[in-house]
Amino acid sequence: MAELKEDRIKTEKKNHKKSVEKEETPDGKKNERHKDRRPDVRTVGKISGSYSLMHARLRGHTAFYLKMPIYFAVVFIPLVCYTWFDDRKLSFILSAAFLVYVIVSVSLYFFEKRKYVKELVDFAADYSQVQKELIKGIELPYGLIDSDGKLLWCNAALEDITGHAGLKKIYDIFPDIKQEDIDFSDTQTRPSAYINHEDMFYRIDFAKVPVVVDDSQADEEYLIAMYMFDETELRRLGKENVEQRMVAGLIYLDNYDDALQSVEDVRRSLLIALIDRKINKYFATYNAVVRKLEKDKYFIAIKQKYVAALQSNKFSILDEVKTVNIGNEMAVTISIGLGVGGDEYTQNCEYSRIAIDLALGRGGDQAVVKDGEKIYFYGGKSKQVEKNTRVKARVKAHALRELLESKDKVIIMGHKIGDIDSLGSAIGVFRAARTINKQAYIVINEITSSIRPMLDILKADEEYEDIFVDSDGAKELIDINTAIVVVDVSRPSYVECPEILSKTKDVVVLDHHRRSSDIIENASLSYIEPYASSASEMVAEILQYFYDGIKIRNSEAEAMYAGIMVDTNNFTKNTGVRTFEAAAFLRKCGADVVRVRQLFRDSMDDFKAKAKAISSAEVFEEKYAISICPSEGLDSPTVVGAQAANELLNIRGIRASFVLTEHNSKIYISARSMGDLSVQLIMERLGGGGHLDTAGAQLENVSLNEAKQIVKDTVIGMLEAKEV
């Protein structure tokens, strides 16, 4: 006890002793100054920690080890008791030895415990100091922050990054870190954050560190350890790996034959050479490999890092090729399809094939990039040129007949809120199916005012009495031996009954709208011609090759003729030689032009609504008209809105018109232009599509005024970016 008391006195003297420092005064004399030598903070922490540990109760294996001699003493008690009954002399000796053993064991336990604990404390302190020095000098940036995000302590590596930030909040040091990044509400997860700091990329992991011994308070009192992992090099290598991947591409000359025919024979080889030179020179700047597959087809292989550059200049080769002119009357246009983001090179090649099909299906003169599930369009501003040859129509007609002959039934459907073109083309396919003795049905859910007069005429015929069904009826009719023919639409979400598309493997698509990224996939037969004026025109051509001597009724011919008239606005737009040839064929089949004209007469309510939409039109950017068409009391407000959009183009100086109509909790947009501006690109930006001069879109969960502002902002933005 005296020794322990003396040690405590020495410790207190050491902590509170005063040292005498001697300083020299200006006159050379020495002066003595007393100064309190205050203990270092780390020393205080060490002493207080040692004191608490020395007075703490030992537990676990350490306590068991110290108490083991006492436990052995308990084992010897029965032996001593036994000797008292057997041998008195021996029992006295054992009892004395047992007593000495107990006294020594208890004395050692109580009097040597302090020294033992002190050595444990010294070892722990030394070990803690070594551990601290290791953490302080480790290259991995490490720090401690509190639950409010304040940086309390950091090692040397983190200090170099933060610039000795002191007690600043981690959000102020790294703005990329948010409060939710250190949220430990879900204790099963370990939050992480990714930041960019001084051109370096880091991944920061956070871990909860309890600051109390009592586990019941671990969730209330804790610090947060942060570990920073430098991923700059990893990201650089990952980016370099992505950039070095091969991108496959296909280039097609859209009008190769027509362009060659427009120049003299001796100059044709020169025209081909100039086009080759343009294409090779353009892609050579991007270190691409260009190989000519056929006379009008090229294959290219390019690194992925150059795709962004191609996209940034919007594939300027599309316009450069058009400048090749050696006397040819028709400018050469090309289509480009790039496949990006595939896991294998073969997948990129497949993507490029899909991309080029999309480009050609949208009329050509554009580039399409398919990056995985994403599709990007560039160009497509020029109007597609009608092809005079009907070879493709004849081939598609024969393929359609072979497919329908192998099936028992045919279900025909157009787009939702059908118009006369959708109905007319469906009637044409119905006649083709009945010609080869197949059962055929037409799906119509909503009978609008635009198709009701024609339907009344058709239903007067007994043959058409039971052919019109709704979606529920179509679901009952569909089976594995049924063919589905989709007309005047190619987007699965726009058809009358999307559910039945997956019920059979044989789906035919006949459409004249430009393709979009959302298209009916895995169609057995797809015939999409953007140059055609209407779906009725396409079906009229198919009927001429479908069956020799096919008999078309007068009402059927009038339905298709009406479809052509509506989509061409009385043969004033999107008309070509083949349009008039199809109209002439239908006239021969008995179409009455006067009776067709009578079908388009408006009701008084429709006429007033159209007049109101025109009178309330607003002109923005000096050349664009936008208006809202009232829908109350109208049977087919979307049709009236489309008619109003056509009428607005008759105003001098208007390049494009947009009419918005609310119907069935949706906003329908009808867009029209004179052909010098692609409203299709504008509507695609809003999720719609169509033709270069006739397009539309639908908006949901917005008001009419909000939709109007969206359209205006979209047009202005695309004009500023020179995308239209």
Mean pLDDT throughout 19-23?
38
Contacts of 720 (CB under 8 A, 6+ apart): none
Domain C-terminal end among 577, 599, 621: 599
What is the CATH number for 652?
A: 3.10.310.30
**Per-residue confidence (pLDDT) for residue 288, from 0 to 100:** 93
- Average pLDDT score over the chain: 81
Burial class of residue 496 in the structure, from the number of CB atoms within 10 Å of its CB (0-12 exposed, 13-18 middle, 19+ buried): buried
Name the band, by pLDDT with cuts 50, 70 and 90, for residue 358.
confident
Query: Is 32 within a domain?
Result: no
The model's pLDDT over 607-628, given as tens digits with 9 standing for 90+, comes to 899 999 999 999 999 899 999 9
- Is residue 22 domain-resident? no
**Section 234-238 average pLDDT:** 84
| Predicted local confidence at residue 78, as pLDDT | 76
The mean-pLDDT minimum among 12-16, 186-190, 680-684 falls in 12-16
Q: Number of folded domains in the chain?
A: 5
Q: Which residue has the higher pLDDT, 128 or 366?
A: 366
Average pLDDT score over residue span 300-310? 91
Per-residue pLDDT reduced to its tens digit, 65-77? 777 777 777 777 7
Read off the pLDDT of each residue in 655-677 and give the average, rounded to a whole number. Answer: 90
**Structural domain contains residue 17:** no
Query: Cα(460)–Cα(664) distance, rounded to whole angstroms?
Result: 30
Percent of the chain's residues with pLDDT above 70? 84
| pLDDT for res 121 | 67
Q: Are residues 677 and 575 in the same domain?
A: no
Return the top range by mean pLDDT from 126-140, 209-223, 385-399. Answer: 385-399
452 and 577 belong to one structural domain: yes
Rounded mean pLDDT, 142-160: 82
pLDDT value at position 722?
80
pLDDT for position 54: 44
Cα(358)–Cα(295) distance, rounded to whole angstroms? 21
Domain-embedded: residue 373: yes
Span 118-132, average pLDDT:
69
Instruction: Single out the residue of 415, 697, 437 nearest to residue 563, CA to CA.
Output: 415
- Residue 684 or 432, more confident: 432
Mean pLDDT of 661-687: 88
Residue 194 and residue 254 share a domain: no
Q: Kindly state whether residue 1 falls inside one of the protein's structural domains.
A: no
CATH code (residue 458): 3.90.1640.10
Q: Describe the crossing of helices 420-435 and 554-567 by its angle, rounded to 10 degrees.
A: 140
Instruction: For residue 218, name the pLDDT band (cuts at 50, 70, 90).
Output: very low
Q: Which one of 181, 214, 239 terminates a domain?
A: 239
pLDDT value at 37 more than 50: no
Q: What is the CATH number of the domain that holds 211?
A: 3.30.450.20
Q: Which of 114, 137, 160 corresponds to the end of one domain? A: 137
- Confidence class for position 14, pLDDT limits 50, 70, 90: very low
The least confident of 170-179, 306-315, 391-400 is: 170-179
**48 and 80 together in one domain:** yes
Residue 13 has pLDDT above 80, yes or no: no
Q: What is the CATH number of the domain that holds 305?
A: 3.30.70.270
Position 370 confidence tier, pLDDT thresholds 50, 70, 90? very high
C-alpha–C-alpha distance, residues 427 and 539, integer Å: 9
Find the range with the poorest average confidence among 17-31, 362-376, 636-650.
17-31
Mean pLDDT for 22-51 is 40
Domain identity same for 426 and 539? yes
Based on the fold, state whether residues 443 and 529 are members of the same structural domain. yes
pLDDT of residue 27: 43
User: Higher pLDDT residue, 132 or 498?
Assistant: 498
- In this prediction, residues 472-478 reach a mean pLDDT of 92
Residues 471 and 616 in one domain: no
Is there a domain that residue 297 lies in?
Answer: yes
The pLDDT of residue 124 is 67
The band of 125, judged by pLDDT with boundaries at 50, 70 and 90, is: low
Please indicate, yes or no, whether residues 93 and 121 belong to a single structural domain of this protein: yes
Q: Could you tell me the maximum CA-CA distance found in the chain, to the nearest angstrom?
A: 144
Res. 414: pLDDT tops 50? yes
Q: Which of 15-24, 339-348, 381-390, 475-484 has the lowest mean pLDDT?
A: 15-24
The two three-digit tokens of residue 287, written as one number: 């270190």
pLDDT at residue 150 is higher than 90 = no
Residue 694, helix vs strand vs coil = strand
Distance CA 305, CA 247 (A): 9
Q: Is the pLDDT of residue 230 over 60?
A: yes
Of residues 104 and 581, more confidence is placed in 581
| pLDDT > 70? residue 25 | no
- The pLDDT-based confidence of 486 (bands split at 50, 70, 90) is very high
The whole-number pLDDT of residue 167 equals 66
Q: Are 536 and 564 in contact (CB under 8 A)?
A: yes
Q: Which of 56-60, 72-76, 129-133, 244-248 has the highest mean pLDDT?
A: 244-248
pLDDT for 154 beyond 70: yes
Q: Are 357 and 351 in contact (CB under 8 A)?
A: no
Same domain, 450 and 556: yes
In contact, 280 and 290? CB cutoff 8 Å = yes
- Coil, strand, or helix at residue 198? coil
For residue 415, report the phi and psi dihedrals to the nearest 5 degrees: -95, 165
CA distance 596 to 607: 19
Which residue segment(s) compose the domain that 711 sits in? 604-720
Whether 12 is in a domain gets the answer: no
Instruction: Mention every residue, 6+ apart, whose C-beta is less than 8 A from residue 650.
Output: none
Name the more confident of 133 and 308: 308
Q: Within 10 A of 89 (CB to CB), how many other CB atoms are there? A: 8
- Per-residue pLDDT at 42: 40
User: What pLDDT score was predicted for residue 462?
Assistant: 83
Query: Does residue 488 carry a pLDDT above 50?
Result: yes
Averaged pLDDT for residues 705-722:
91
Hey, what are 167's tokens?
A: 């007690």
H or E stretch at 242 = helix 232-243
251 shares its domain with 399: no
Same domain, residue pair 216 and 158? yes
Lowest mean pLDDT: which of 41-50, 249-258, 452-461, 645-654? Answer: 41-50
Q: Is the pLDDT of residue 99 over 70?
A: yes
Is 168 contained in some domain? yes
User: pLDDT tens-digit profile of 501-541?
Assistant: 988 989 999 998 877 777 887 788 989 888 888 999 999 99
Task: Give the integer Cα–Cα distance in Å for 566 and 636.
Answer: 15
Q: Which residue has the higher pLDDT, 36 or 468?
A: 468
Statement to judge: residues 479 and 556 lie in one domain: yes
> Lowest mean pLDDT: which of 28-37, 523-532, 562-571, 661-670?
28-37
Q: Using the predicted structure, report yes or no on whether residue 165 has a pLDDT greater than 80.
A: no
Q: Is the pLDDT of residue 254 over 80?
A: yes
The three-class DSSP label of residue 525 is strand
Report yes or no: 435 and 547 within 8 Å, Cβ to Cβ. yes
